[in-house]
Amino acid sequence: MIAIIDYGMGNLHSVSKAVERLGYEAVITADPQVIMDADGAILPGVGAFGDAMHNLRETGLDAVVKQYAASGKPLLGICLGMQLLFSESEEYGIHEGLGLLPGNVIRFQGDYKIPHMGWNKLSFLQEQSPLFNGLTEGHVYFVHSFHARPELQSDLLATTDYHQQVTAIVGRGSVFGMQFHPEKSGDLGIQLLGNFLSLTK
């Protein structure tokens, strides 16, 4: 069973449907025990970093996510959910994140279109990652105004190019993050999600 963590800010149902299409049971939940008992967990997110962390702390789910990550079972952050894995974000002030991956989240700066929106090609930096089993580089769908900067190169699994190198997929141990929405990113997105889910078996 895959727990999709409900803290009031996520595209929960599209993620749930994608998980089910891949043949896994999905439960949208805010129940700490259900989350801890799950074979895998997904932290989705749409909206502002500070609001998301406030909701996680208010419900105590910040501690649950950290405990889940420490258990060694697979955890995936999607979009804002990926950014929450990092130490802090500068979105509307400085906000502390979950701190599962060292690094920060900053706003795009430059004379180009913000938010970064559309289909961009992934570059796999660590092809040995289980997320990339059987896959070739292709395009996925991004919508974001802020991007993550991991402190450690070893946590950076894939990038894309948007006027600079942009973090697309991160991972350390059993904790992973995708800046794009895999459930809205065609065949490659679904295959990446499927490879993550296969880690839960």
Summarize pLDDT for 15-45 with one digit per residue, the tens. Answer: 999 999 999 999 999 999 999 999 999 999 9
Active-site residue, from 116, 144, 147, 181: 181
Q: Which residue in 79, 88, 144, 147 is the catalytic one?
A: 79
What was the pLDDT predicted at 11? 81
pTM: 0.97
Given a cut of 90, whether residue 10 has pLDDT beyond it is no
The domain segmentation of the chain, as residue ranges, is: 2-198
Whether 88 is catalytic: no
Given 88, 91, 95, 183, the catalytic residue: 183
Kindly state which CATH superfamily the domain 2-198 is placed in.
Class I glutamine amidotransferase (GATase) domain (3.40.50.880)
Output the pLDDT for position 148: 98
Please indicate whether residue 151 is annotated as part of the active site: no
As a whole number of angstroms, the distance between CA 75 and CA 196 comes to 9
Instruction: Judge contact between 176 and 12, C-beta under 8 A.
Output: no
Q: Report the pLDDT value the prediction gives residue 17, as an integer from 0 to 100.
A: 97
Residue 183 bears catalytic tag: yes
pLDDT higher than 90, residue 197: yes
Confidence of residue 161 (pLDDT cuts 50, 70, 90): very high
Query: Residue 118 burial by CB count (10 A; 0-12/13-18/19+): exposed, middle or buried?
Result: exposed
